Amino acid sequence: MTFTKLLDSFFGVLVCGAFFVPCLSAQTPAFTSTEDHDHHFPQPYDSEPEKTSPMSAEQAAATAVLPPGFRCEVFASEPDVQQPIAMCFDGRGRLWVAECYTYAERPDRWVDDLRDRIIILEDTDGDGRADKRDVFWDQANRLTSLAHVDGGVYALCPPQLLFIADADGDDVPDGEPEVVLDGFEVDTSSHNVANGLKVGPDGWLYGRHGILSVSLVGKPGTPDGRRTPVNTAIWRYHPQRETFEVFCYGGTNPWGLDWNADGQLFYTNTVIGHLWHAFPGAYYERMFGAPVNPHAYEVISQTADHFHWDTGKEDWNTIREGLSSSTSALGGGHAHMGCLIYKSGVWPDEYAGNLFTCNLHGRRINRDILERDGCGYVAHHGEDFLLMKDPFFRGLDVIAGPDGQLWINDWSDTGECHDNTGLHRSSGRIYRVVYDGDAKGEAKPEHADWLTARAESDFGSDQINALLESDEEARRAMGVRFLCEDFGAQATTVDRLVHLARTEASGLVRGEVAAGLQRLPIDRRIEVAAVLCERSEDADDRQQPLMIWYGIEEAVVEHADDAVKLAIQTRIPKIRSLIARRLGESLDEQPAAVERLLAASLASQSAGIRPEVLQGLGQGLRGRAHAAAPPNWDTVAAAVQRDGSAVEKQLVQELSLVFGDGRARDAVVTLAFDTAADPANRRAAVNSLMRQPSDDLLPKLIAAINDHVIAGEVVRALAHYDAPGVSIRLINRWRRSVVDRSAAIDSLVARKQHAFDLLAAIEAGKIPADAISPYQARQIENHGDAKLSERLRQVWGNIRETPEAKKQEMARWKSLLTADRIGAADPVAGKAIYLQQCASCHQLYGDGQPIGPNLTGSDRHNLDYLLGNVFDPSAVVPAAYRMSVFLLQDGRVLSGVVTAENDNVITLQTQKQVEQVDKGLIAQRKLSQLSLMPDGILTYLSETDVTNLVAYLMTPGPVASE
């Protein structure tokens, strides 16, 4: 009988046998265990109201439908293992399992009367069944995954990533867990929580993050401004370097990842698609919202060429009404858990390199056939590999064991991630899918030595050079990645990448060159990209044009001349239109660049260039109601009218409207609040509307304050409104979204009553006092209200220290910042702090904004000079850098440095952004004796951070970024 026929027969008897098994609580352990932990461990309980039970583990394994030569065996089952959310093997072949009992149904999300634990299962007699169980640690909460490494175990317990040391390997923690990272958000969602720890062949520790929340991740004590925002992403942490980064963005709720034999990462997902091949720095399709980079613009579609559910007839959530025959035939549903690319040698060759993932609703394991395609891969639909008849089967992961077989951890429940009815905590299984047929091979390591050598401490330039000179594209591709990771700032790296971009025959290697652009100095990126853009064979590749764009978008405005040249010369049209779009968005700041781009498009002999430039420019201005026309716009319009296509004429007509009388306000309003519209255009539309805020917009703004795309713009827009209820919504947004917190405080301190409400929220414990920065505290003081200022001092503290206190603090830091300590500091880390804390107003080696004095030529090598300016920035303030305070007629207060002024408009540089202020709206203007730089900027920095910052500020020349 074929597997498809077995599927059909299975669905005819789906319910049979489901309710005729013994109660789980009556089962007895299959082996010995460490009881000293269990006696004080809270007894897990079932909250599922329906008193049903799964098949017995043995019956479920025996009735599993598999291809010939395979069988399913029970390695462990309840009560010896329950709620197994994750698992991994150690170097001794033992299985480590994370049991998560604190996960709960809505609305609780998590319960606090239970705990989670890590257990170790071992088969000591070699019969394929665990006969020894040890509890390693049972004090966890919200335990979502684990990873065993030499010397201990990593445990992901959001909001924390923990390391539990066990240096002697006696399976007893050496002490309390170390908090390695924190900031993983847990309040918004439980099923989208950070998960999936897995050690990569490169030695990094990888993890996953869902879409419903945004985390700000960093080492404990790291200020929010220096943390990494994470949302629907694959992230990683390097245990030796102690660095954290996002590997790529995209998905809905990624719950599986693995690497193929070439070292390329793949991850599985739910709803919008089930599989992506992941390049570093990529932005992949997401279910809703917009990428964290507002200039990414477009995202890369899934690697699979198929779906596992009937997208033509059903919505993604139709599955909750039951599994239809059409969706079953396509693979069983949209939700996928776990990811294994088989490379362990035991199974027949036809399975080598295939990708396996659990299908939650279909109660099966899907199989995808991976194939190289262009600059990446494509995944074709393979015949489903396994089908379980147990209605409780909820496979969460699939991994390869040291025996070369496939292992499954079964959560064993009837619910799914949106389950509101309850949890069946008393069940759980570990299955092993065994091949023992005639084609059985020998078990081998999952990854070759050339790939795992990356994790060794002596890996360096010699190994990278050997990879780059290999005849195998996989090795050359990884060589490019490692070169950019380790030596991206070196000029020789850029030269080498230029050569590879020009000569490399492998699309995969060219893809890695494109991915590496983001690690190069910003002024060299377009140079490499220009050569990649000569490769016309990549013009229609699914990923390469966008990977190139992600690498250069940051450089387009800063190096506009190079970008304009690339836009005209590229043989990849996508790059041309995206450059035009980016410059169009920056028209106010870069009118000359847009003028040059339009002139070059007119001069070009290529028929396709001009419409692509116009299309990109139009997209960049799509959200604007009105914009100043580039100086040569009339010439462009006349040329298009004379010999342009119908498409060009339509584009010119739309742009001329923006450059003339302006786009109709109603159209801009519709665009701003259209959730299906382009994210960047929606943001621009909100900002455009706020040039002339009106009362009719307030209800729309309030309704959109939690919009996944424009929430940040809405938070800033609400500063224009003094209506009742605005402040409470801003306070609630602060509590809901870590990424909008600073903007929410900015809007609250802009108005007197909102500031009172903010201080009341702090007094009530809803917001911590340190959420207000020294600059924002000064904004409150600038309202000039004695009661408000007194309330600020009571709740927050004094804005300016006394002269004596400043002297004492300066003396303390001078004693700490010895020459030896500064000499041993890390100026690269200090540069990162500078970019966060100082670059919004100062320039050093060309990095930053020219609002305050340029630091490059200052007396910054003198420690007394540095400390004096940091601790008392307002002691000596040149007239050009003194702060002006404006009270507007609508009640707002704005503070900043006036950078330009004419008869009608004042351009004001605040600490965070440029404001165009209509003089007719100003009620009062006062020139302050204070600097824009507030006192107390070191308050939120550790001693190490300050030392690194000072080391960077005192460097004799530029240093590379992290």
H or E segment to which residue 313 belongs: none
3 state DSSP class of 759: helix
Of 743, 770, 795, the residue that ends a domain is 795
16 pLDDT tier (thresholds 50, 70, 90): very low
**Residues 403 and 292 reside in one and the same domain:** yes
Q: Are residues 246 and 352 both part of a single domain?
A: yes
Query: How crowded is the C-beta side of 741, counted as CA atoms within 13 Å?
Result: 20
Domain-terminating residue out of 774, 795, 816: 795
- pTM as predicted: 0.85
Return the minimum-mean-pLDDT range out of 189-203, 649-663, 886-900.
Answer: 886-900
**Average pLDDT along the chain:** 89
Inside any domain, residue 549: no
Residue 751 per-residue DSSP state: B
Helix residue ranges per DSSP H, 63-155:
none
Tens of pLDDT along 911-924?
777 888 888 889 88
In a domain, 18, yes or no: yes
User: Got the DSSP string for 371-421?
Assistant: EEETTEEEEEEEEEEEE---TT--EEEEEE-TTS-EEEEE---S--TT--S
User: Is there a domain that residue 494 lies in?
Assistant: no
For residue 12, pLDDT over 80 is answered with no
Which range marks the domain in which residue 754 is found? 695-795
Residue 313, exposed/middle/buried by CB under 10 A (0-12, 13-18, 19+)?
exposed
923: β partners: none
Q: What is the CATH number of the domain that holds 909?
A: 2.30.30.100
Is the residue at 119 inside a domain?
yes
Residue 686 counted as domain residue: no
Task: Compute the distance between CA of residue 817 and CA of residue 811 in angstroms, rounded to an integer.
Answer: 10
Nearest alpha carbon to residue 305 among 260, 371, 253, 361: 371
**Mean pLDDT across 286-306:** 94
Would you say residue 575 has pLDDT above 50? Answer: yes
42-94 pLDDT per residue, tens: 999 998 887 788 999 999 999 999 999 999 999 999 999 999 999 999 999 99
SS3 assignment, position 152: strand
What is the model's pLDDT at position 842? 80
Whether residue 843 sits in one domain with residue 724 = no
Same domain? For 809 and 783 the reply is: no
Are 885 and 876 in contact, with CB atoms under 8 Å apart? no
End residue of a domain, out of 760, 795, 830: 795
Q: Is the pLDDT of residue 419 over 70?
A: no
Q: Which residues contact 709 (CB under 8 A, 6 or more apart)?
A: 289, 290, 675, 679, 682, 683
Residues 737 and 814 in one domain: no
Yes or no: say if 273 and 305 are a contact pair by the CB < 8 Å rule: no
User: According to the model, what pLDDT value does residue 17 have?
Assistant: 30
* Coarse DSSP helix, strand, coil percentages of the chain, rounded to the nearest 5 percent: 35, 20, 40
Give the total number of structural domains in the chain: 3
pLDDT of 383 reads 97
* DSSP secondary structure, 335-350, as one string: -EEEEEE--SSSS-GG
Residue 173 near residue 136, CB atoms below 8 Å: yes
pLDDT of 7 strictly over 50: no
Contact between 252 and 273 under an 8 Å Cβ cutoff? The reply is no
Query: Would you say residue 367 has pLDDT above 90?
Result: yes
Asked if the bond preceding 220 is cis, omega within 30° of 0, the reply is: no
Same domain, 829 and 787: no
* Percent of the chain scoring above 70 in pLDDT: 92
Contact 469, 499 (CB under 8 A): no
Q: Residue 294 is encoded by which pair of tokens?
A: 């507002």
pLDDT score of 3? 42
633 occurs within a structural domain: no
> Residue 530 is which amino acid?
A
CA atoms within 13 A on the CB side of 161: 32
CA distances for 223 relative to 182, 270, 701, 741, angstroms: 11, 33, 29, 13
Q: So what's the pLDDT on residue 310?
A: 92
Three-class secondary structure of residue 181 per DSSP? strand
Say how far apart CA 181 and CA 218 lie, in whole Å.
5
* Two tokens, residue 306: 């198929």
- Domain shared by 787 and 881, yes or no: no
Do 934 and 849 fall within a single domain?
yes
742 and 838 co-located in one domain: no
752 in the same domain as 818 = no
Number of neighbours of residue 832 by Cβ within 10 angstroms: 18
The segment with the largest mean pLDDT, out of 10-19, 287-296, 694-703, is 694-703
pLDDT, one tens digit per residue, over 494-525 is 999 999 999 999 999 999 999 999 999 999 99
Task: Give residue 877's pLDDT.
Answer: 57
The answer to whether residue 625 is domain-embedded is no
pLDDT of residue 26: 32
Are both 909 and 879 inside the same structural domain? yes
Tell me the pLDDT band of 466, cut-offs 50, 70 and 90.
very high
CATH number (domain holding residue 36): 2.120.10.30
- The answer to whether position 448 is within a domain reads no
The size of the chain, in residues, is 962
Rg (CA), the chain: 30
* 808 and 775 in a common domain: no
pLDDT at site 836: 76
How high is the pLDDT of residue 472? 98
Q: pLDDT for 178-194, tens place per residue?
A: 999 999 998 877 678 89
In SS3 terms, 512-553 reads as: HHHHHHHHCCHHHHHHHHHHHCCCHHHCCCCCHHHHHHHHHH
Question: What pLDDT shows up at residue 881?
Answer: 67
Confidence tier at 854 by pLDDT (50, 70, 90): confident
